[in-house]
Chains A and B, each alone.
Chain A
């Protein structure tokens, strides 16, 4: 015990002297490792070592012991492991035990000399081999090369690099990358951010508060601007204790940051780091980064920028390899009643000729099976009821009257302003036939309005219902209670702001998700709550019905998206993988897939059947707040707080367009009924219309780009922008195209 103390004291003294002269940190390490870190590491060190780790691990443990002057244990371990010994002595295990005498001064001196050497070697790359004179290897308590192993075994961040050297390492790499050929520079620059983060976290983890702070101040300015948000979170973390339970921290620790780098660039980096013996950085790269190496041309800066920005780097390429059946399901066979109905309508209108061919084409189209479509029964869908069929017929009839939109023929926009909402409107939804509007409010209420002259009525009470003649034709009319007719109804039940709201396709139900962690299913017949789905314990940010009803998806603060069926009180699927809150959810038009957008700035596409994540789409630089699928299911649009809309090819998992123009969060996105026009609504009080046909046409998709995913995005936002419509002071939070392609927008007037 005394000896250890002595040794430390010596070190302390030396350190003091040295910091003055050379600013060396080797003493620091020792001092630190014998304080809190050492106990934990000491405890853990045995198990992994015993469990047959490789030689490196053993070496690492040895070094650890040596550093703590436990020469005896070193010796034993050495003997046990049958390693060629450098050092000597015998007794048994463990750090906690007393360290007997030894030669602290000598070894420390050796270490110092060595560290000086290594520092020299780092500063001047001329003499890399000078680092490790064979005699000194044993006492290499400092410097770079021996570092990795122990700490890797112990914990993600217990690496004990010399904190003072961190900026040097980083700077060295920076210099190297700056000196590299232009074509590689952009690619290699991707390494900066994750390296920076991990180095900083390491420093913090090892209690080098001041060094961490300095490191941050020195290099945070170099990072890409779109990481600012994360850097802010990072900067607030300045103590080890803070790391406990911090989400960002957890994300960085548990997941590997994914980079895509061409083989050439990667080799370059690797060679450099090995030459320099820059193990600190090399370790971080090995431990915390996943480098997705591809063959071919290095990517350009703009290509990289387009794809980066998410919390955990880009999606791995093979993550997007799975086949996605993005085609639409075959429409059910309801032609026969349609014919009858249409015939009648035609006769009334007196021009049957014109309509006939149209209808036929429609029928034939729906009969043909889309090769990209999933099997009809891939997931079980609810059977169509008579009322659904009627609705489908209505839908088709309306569709024939649909306005053909084009850049020369823009849709009209009808804006529904919520007045006197006092900033409390948090979610809006329209029914597909645009007859009802529902709003979720911060005061926990859900309100439903009828925007047609047809008022909202409740079903009569059970007692009254029993008096009704059930055989009569208009029984559906009779069950409604005329006395309750009103233009709007309020649904009470939640105990927190309602953040998500969604009508069922048949207009019988309404879903709402709330801060209170529940999703509620409301009946629009009785205007009461039917079920409260409990599963998320944290705020549920969004919920969405499947286009075929029955299923719905919800996602929230707990980072898990859940797939539910209305008649099950427990979720059918849980989609886990996002690294931050799930902020928006959406069903694919064929109901076989679910897209979720998240605050980790990625979009994931999940297969409902298998529960697998089939697409990870990166490129947004802020939390994603809106998603939209094109009606043909082939494309997707997403909008985020960064004010950009990104367009995606779902089949290839590629970004195919970027629409810049909004200056604030985009809360609403919707494709027109035929997919020619995309409408986006934003917090900046505007609705913008974009020419998506052109956007998708402009993208040249050859095999190469499709295979590698490296796409040149045309800078054509301005040409694609068809119109900007500004409201007076109403953020646009929902958009909806009616069946006839009239655009409805909604938001709360905000005086």
Chain B
């Protein structure tokens, strides 16, 4: 390596053209080739010399990055006047230009109008230096607190699970600068000393008292009645770096919970458990692969189970199936490899039970939902060919003799689900025109309705294309949550992304973690604004679809009132609302603002009003569940307002 580099170092010299260009820039026209060569050599040498001195300053400045001030100081050492104007902390914006066979990099010096500078508001004063103490280690053991890095990074969790026989020596992990629980190191060192070689290191899953307490609190909050607590707990699961010790317990908790609650048809609890799965998947520090064998069956159960609730006719178990299907799709995306083949196995399972004639409508719905979440390709190859058959079946139920109400509802849901997913795919793949008859010929009973849906989808796509650059919402910046959370965490939290911030007026801002691998649609920032009031009226508004939210970074207190007052102000959102209901795939990097107004009590009036989300058997309020579930999609808006943009 060094050998390769050194000769280069020896020979790197500025090109003579640069000398010419520089000479020209200061007015020396004709420069001899030899002078250029001599100059370039001299200049290269001096530059290297200065760079070496600058490195010294970087080292003493305890930095890894060379800054312009280092170069200034190095110049000062040589009694050269420093360069002025290169004060940029981050990078120096050199610009590139070419022409006349020449290529130039130059530093753009714009003329700046002083009045502009004077008139611009002052930038925020940077925070002053402050000192913060935390425990890096307590008697040799590093506590798992946010200030410390996660005790076991993902790579190590992976290494542990995939190569359990490989004894991790302290030296090896240092090379990769991977750290490990300290107790383990000394224990291992001792083990080595005594010459005891274990076949497989006993993996300890003992939880400290604090961890046990945490586990208890979290699980209770997750399935408890207080929605605010649940949100916090889920946020904690999704962001805390030190959970890997508890992961096996969480995983068992979820799988056991699903098993029990499916039998008891406890919809609410199933929903809570699925939200836990989602939170676990969102946590970037966890290596979930190890526990998929418990989690996937649980999720699949929630998708395809025959009965998920006590009253299938009224309860909105469909939402759960949708949500779980989305989870499934997400885990397929994240975890599917050539060895475990999760995606193909799951696809097979869904298809098999869907093809089965005796399958009930609920399961059928689940299978279709699960498949369609897997992406347009799956829809195209697996669902579209069966539309005719499925249409006939639906027709049999809806137009045939009245069977049970449940079947009818099921058929309805399957129909709308098929329409929703297929329409968007067909809109993209099928060439115009959209002929009703042609559709009927191709897709059978569902053809005509499908056709109208496709037309709508196409219109929407066009509209969307128009609106991409138009701002419809006057929302200041995507910043507010970030800044709030920064001050909340106190800076040393660092990479932790903002979580839940409590604003005095019971307003909770949530933003999903940016950059989590589990988020399919790229850089969409989402806000969920939940306010505990104004259930009925706001619901109405949302269904009407005209609503403006103004989120300002500083005052979140007036959100509820804005919801009410802004009703009449902005029209474009009507369209958006309808599109959202039509099932817009979040493929564009759009920001979604979701406002959910929380009713003061889980009243039954809501249920009747929305008709889609019946109250759960417990006294918990279903709304926030919706909030959680509607993070990605905006399909069902029972008693909150969802505004996709």
Chain A interface residues toward B at CB < 8 A: 213, 216-217, 220-221, 225, 228, 231-233, 235-239, 241-242, 246, 407-426, 437, 439, 441-442, 447, 449, 451, 488, 496-497, 499, 515, 538-539, 541, 557, 581, 583, 599, 623, 625, 641, 661, 663, 665, 667, 683-684, 686-687, 717-719, 721-729, 731, 733, 743, 745, 748-749, 751
Contacts and interface: CB of A to CB of B under 8 A. Distances in A.
Interface in B26-63: 41-42, 44-45, 48-49, 52, 56-57, 59-63
Contacts of B52: 233
A231 B2 CA distance: 11
Nearest to A724: B179
16 contacts: A213-B10, A239-B42, A246-B49, A407-B186, A410-B139, A417-B131, A439-B129, A451-B131, A488-B131, A497-B60, A515-B57, A661-B171, A683-B64, A723-B140, A728-B148, A749-B492
Given A420-B130, A488-B131, A751-B491, 10 more contacts: A236-B45, A238-B10, A410-B140, A449-B131, A541-B60, A724-B170, A724-B185, A727-B148, A728-B494, A751-B495
A733 B62 contact: yes
B586 to A, nearest CB: 29
Contacts of A581: 56
Contact of A751 (B7, B64, B67, B494): B494
A8 B492 CA distance: 74
B569 interface: no
A725 B136 contact: yes
B142 interface: yes
Given A407-B186, A723-B185, A417 B128 contact: no
Contacts of B136: 413-415, 687, 725, 727, 745
Contacts of B609: none
B186 A419 contact: no
Nearest to B64: A683
Nearest first, the 3 closest Cβ-Cβ pairs linking A and B are A410-B140, A221-B3, A235-B10
A680 to B, nearest CB: 12
B470 to A, nearest CB: 35
B60 A718 contact: no
Nearest to B73: A515
B433 interface: no
Contacts of A625: 59
B60 A437 contact: no
A723 B186 contact: yes
Contact of B62 (A425, A557, A721, A724): A425
B45 A723 contact: no
B132 interface: yes
Contacts of B48: 236
B138 interface: yes
Interface of B: 2-3, 6-7, 9-11, 41-42, 44-45, 48-49, 52, 56-57, 59-65, 67, 69, 73, 77, 89, 126-140, 142, 147-149, 169-171, 174-175, 177, 179-180, 182, 185-186, 189, 193, 490-492, 494-495
Contact of B133 (A416, A421, A422, A723): A416
A719 B169 CA distance: 11
A418 B129 contact: yes
B149 A418 contact: no
Contacts of B59: 583, 623, 625, 641, 665
B294 to A, nearest CB: 31
Contacts of B171: 661, 717-718
Given A238-B41, A723-B140, A718 B3 contact: no
Contacts of B44: 236
Given A236-B48, A718-B170, A583 B41 contact: no
Contacts of B490: 419
A623 B53 CA distance: 13
B153 to A, nearest CB: 10
A718 B193 CA distance: 11
B73 A539 contact: yes
A415 B179 contact: no
A439 B44 CA distance: 37
Contacts of B142: 725-726
Contact of A686 (B9, B57, B139, B179): B179
Most chain A beta carbons < 10 A, residue from B62, B169, B185:
B62
Nearest to B150: A728
A423 B63 contact: yes
A751 to B, nearest CB: 6
Contact of A414 (B10, B129, B134): B134
A426 B9 contact: no
Contacts of B2: 221, 225, 228
A496 to B, nearest CB: 7
A585 B253 CA distance: 58
Nearest to A409: B139
A729 B150 CA distance: 12
B61 A442 contact: yes
B73 A231 contact: no
A515 B182 CA distance: 40
Pick the most buried of A221, A231, A725, A751: most chain B CB atoms within 10 A of its CB.
A725
B157 to A, nearest CB: 16
A36 to B, nearest CB: 15
A728 B65 contact: no
B137 A426 contact: no
Contacts of A439: 129
A203 B142 CA distance: 57
Nearest to A246: B49
A222 to B, nearest CB: 9
A723 B182 contact: yes
Nearest to A234: B10
Contact of B137 (A225, A423, A725): A725
A410 B148 contact: no
Contact of B494 (A228, A420, A729): A729
A441 B69 contact: no
Contact of B177 (A241, A663, A687): A663
A529 B44 CA distance: 42
Nearest to B176: A663
Contacts of B185: 721-724
B24 to A, nearest CB: 25
Contacts of A451: 131, 133
A231 B495 contact: no
A710 to B, nearest CB: 26
B137 A419 contact: no
A727 B149 contact: yes
B533 to A, nearest CB: 38
Contacts of A725: 136-137, 142, 179, 182
B222 to A, nearest CB: 27
B130 A419 contact: yes
Contacts of B139: 409-412
Contacts of A496: 73
Contacts of A232: 6, 9
B239 to A, nearest CB: 14
B77 to A, nearest CB: 6
Contacts of A415: 133-136, 147
A416 B131 contact: yes
A634 B137 CA distance: 29
A7 to B, nearest CB: 27
Given A417-B492, A426-B60, A723 B149 contact: no
A238 B61 contact: no
A221 B6 contact: yes
A81 to B, nearest CB: 43
Contacts of B63: 423
Nearest to B148: A728
A749 B493 CA distance: 10
Contacts of A412: 135, 137-140
Contacts of B137: 410-413, 687, 723, 725, 743
A501 B609 CA distance: 71
Contacts of B42: 239, 241
B189 A213 contact: no
A749 B491 contact: yes
B191 to A, nearest CB: 12
